[in-house]
Amino acid sequence: MSSIHPSSAGPLRLMTVHAHPDDESSKGAATTARYVAEGHEVMVVTCTGGEAGSILNPAMDRPEVMENMAEIRRAEMSRAAEILGVEHRWLGFVDSGLPEGDPKPPLPDGCFATQPLDVATERLVRVVREFRPHVLVTYDENGGYPHPDHIRCHEISVAAFEAAGDPDRFPDSGAPWQPLKLYYSHGFSKKRMVAFHEALLSRGLESPYEEWLANWPADRADPADRVTTRVRCADWFETRDKALLAHETQIDPTSRWFSVPLEIQREIWPTEDYELVRSLVDTPTPEDDLFAGLRSPVAVRQAV
């Protein structure tokens, strides 16, 4: 089932950094569940509480839910973390919301996206130095999609990767620790949509991707072209879906998230995909493991 063997260096540590609760379940959740199952340590860091999120599941669109959105989203995140088997930390910033309109309104005072970069980075550095991850995963420079919190999440994750091992940066935020690899997650790709679209149609099933593909801008790059690392994790797709469904306010169980049967997903696209952007260990690409290059005690000792 697994091509990744336990490390002779003992459990390795993976940290994934996300903007809002539910992002950890829609981006790389099967990967994290797999590494947990294989005995490694995984921590999910959530930058904001998701307080500004809309209710996207009609069954949860009730006044009492909106009135208690922050508390409910914390409870949803706790359930998702339990399903995935990961440790979890809140950074404690306030959701910026997604500004809409022309011109777009200013972001709320004090929200995550308006925080000074060093203020937000210091808070993440503190968690990095506490957990001491070997690998850090975040979003690309576009945030996966251009939500201001996703972009700020990218910015502080890259900054924390650089700062956490520097004793001169944030000296009051714990003993220095240098992560060894930095990845961007790339789950939303045209190639993946095309593969599922064609697989559904070939089986006489309806595809939810036709409109998306028709509207994909001709000049828009496909993130799949940047992928260096494909982690086989099809056996954990069901766990991923259970974690997604734990976010009841955000995930409609009848939505397109679940329109491709798991058996088709496992056959057509059995991986979650990443881009290696920094590595302090030797690891040729393409890879099939976020811990590639870290599987021996010698490699880890030499790099740290």
What pLDDT is attached to residue 184? Answer: 98
More confident residue, 79 or 254: 79
From the list 25, 58, 103, the residue with the least C-alpha distance to 252 is 58
What pLDDT is attached to residue 6? Answer: 40
Give the mean model confidence (pLDDT) for residues 266-273: 98
Res. 9: pLDDT tops 60? no
Give me the residues paired with residue 185 across strands.
274
Mean pLDDT score across all residues of the chain: 92
Domains parsed from the chain with CATH numbers: 13-187+224-303 (3.40.50.10320)
Binding-site residues, in ranges, read: 20, 23, 150
Structural contact between residues 95 and 20, judged by C-beta atoms closer than 8 angstroms:
yes
pLDDT tens, 73-118? 999 999 999 999 999 999 999 999 988 877 888 999 999 999 999 9
Binding-site residues for Zn(2+), in ranges, read: 20, 23, 150
pLDDT tens, 150-206? 999 999 999 999 999 999 999 999 999 999 999 999 988 999 999 999 999 999 999
- Which residues are within 8 A (CB) of 113 and not within 5 positions of it... i.e. 6 or more apart? 96, 107, 148, 149, 151, 152
From the list 88, 77, 83, 86, the residue with the least C-alpha distance to 36 is 86
Q: In what side-by-side order are the strands of the sheet with 87-93? A: 87-93, 41-48, 13-18, 135-138, 181-185, 271-279, 229-232
pTM above 0.85, yes or no: yes
What pLDDT is attached to residue 2? Answer: 35
Instruction: Quickly count: other Cβ atoms within 10 Å of residue 243's Cβ.
Output: 29
